[in-house]
Amino acid sequence: MFKIVDKQTVGPNLTQYEIQATRIAQARKPGQFVMVRPNEKSERIPLTVARTDPQAGTITLIVQAVGKTTLQMSQMNQGDSFADVAGPMGQPSHIEKFGTVVVVGGGLGTAVVLPQAIALKEAGNKIISIIGARNKELVILEKQLGQVSDELIVTTDDGSYGNKGFVTDALGELINASDKNVDAVYCAGPVIMMKAVSEVTRPKEIFTVVSLNPIMVDGTGMCGGCRVTIGGETKFACVDGPEFDGHQVDYDELMDRLTTYKNFEQRMLDAYQKTHKCKLQR
């Protein structure tokens, strides 16, 4: 059992958990994730390890309640325990000294790029971060990302905070600015956003890393659920990724595969909400 030692609400439907998981805290590297089962009857779901404290033996997860399992998690409190937390899973992020790196986090993807930004800064890079969200309420981890960034840009779709527009607008301006030389881009967020970011960096052949979020079942390369096509080859995101060269990803296939279980997921959520009388802000 994995005890929740702290639980904080950090945004609408967004919860940050500190979990006692000593061996994972000591072994995990940036870019890796864990498979979590909140209780013995739940589904197993993949979640990025946003931070660790190896001395305290804790890991931090930032979770958006979008469906049955994440909603089940959000009903659990400090002192409760998750049935399983397995990991660390996946390949660690590719970290080297590039020069100037732009990290782009869209929505919850900001939790994924935060550990990458920390590791890239420690490797001696200049970090420019771009956080994008639909509106001000949904901007997360601005302070934490600001602390490791030489420059931080926030964009909101509706202009309620920061620059009005998409992360790709801000990224395009940076890439085309005569006084900036962007050597690499790391990006996580909705698939459509990662696809757009990769198109912005493609003409100048800027090294672009995206963190993919296909459906994962076992997380160990056995089931094939997380199959993605990279440069025409089949890869399993759980063991070969989740990070890949953004210019090689077949995003349309990934978007198509992510919708496969939509009706089933909605039915499970409706049934859970009916019996547990809890609401999700959609």
Q: Of ligand FES, ligand FAD, none, which one does residue 224 interact with (CB within 5 to 8 Å by kind)?
A: ligand FES
**β-bridge mates for residue 82, sequence order:** 2
Beta carbon of residue 179, minimum distance to ligand FES (angstroms, whole number): 43
Paired with 18 in beta bridges are 6, 60
134, 11 contact by CB (below 8 A): no
Site for ligand FAD in 32-61 (CB under 6 A): 33, 43, 45-48
- Among 192, 222, 255, 271, indicate the residue that binds ligand FES (CB under 6 A): 222
Q: Is 195 in the site for ligand FAD (CB under 6 A)?
A: no
120 near ligand FAD, rule: CB under 6 A: no
- Alpha-helix runs per DSSP H in 75-141: 109-122
Nearest CB to ligand FAD, comparing residues 24 and 174: 24
* # residues near ligand FAD by CB under 6 A: 25
**Closest separation between CB of residue 237 and ligand FES, Å?**
6
When asked if residue 261 is in the footprint of ligand FES (CB under 6 A), the reply is no
Q: Does 216 bind ligand FES (CB under 6 A)?
A: yes
19 makes contact, choosing from ligand FAD, ligand FES, none, with CB < 5 to 8 Å by partner type, with none
Q: Name the nearest CA neighbour of 41 among 77, 86, 72, 87.
A: 72
| Nearest CB to ligand FES, comparing residues 109 and 219 | 219
Q: Who's near 252: CB < 8 A, 6+ residues apart?
A: none
Question: In 128-139, which positions are buried (b, 16+ CB within 10 angstroms) versus exposed (e)?
Answer: bbbbbbeeeebb
Burial track 31-41 (b if 16+ CB lie within 10 A, e otherwise): bbbbbbbbeee
- Residues 256-275 touching ligand FAD, rule: CB under 6 A, are 258, 262, 265, 269
The alpha carbon of residue 89 and the mean position of all alpha carbons in its chain are separated, in whole angstroms, by 14
Task: Choose the contact partner of 221 out of ligand FES, ligand FAD, none; CB within 5 to 8 A by kind.
Answer: ligand FES
- CA–CA distance, 115 with 225 (Å, rounded to integer): 26
Which residues contact ligand FES (rule: CB under 6 A)?
216-219, 221-226, 236, 238
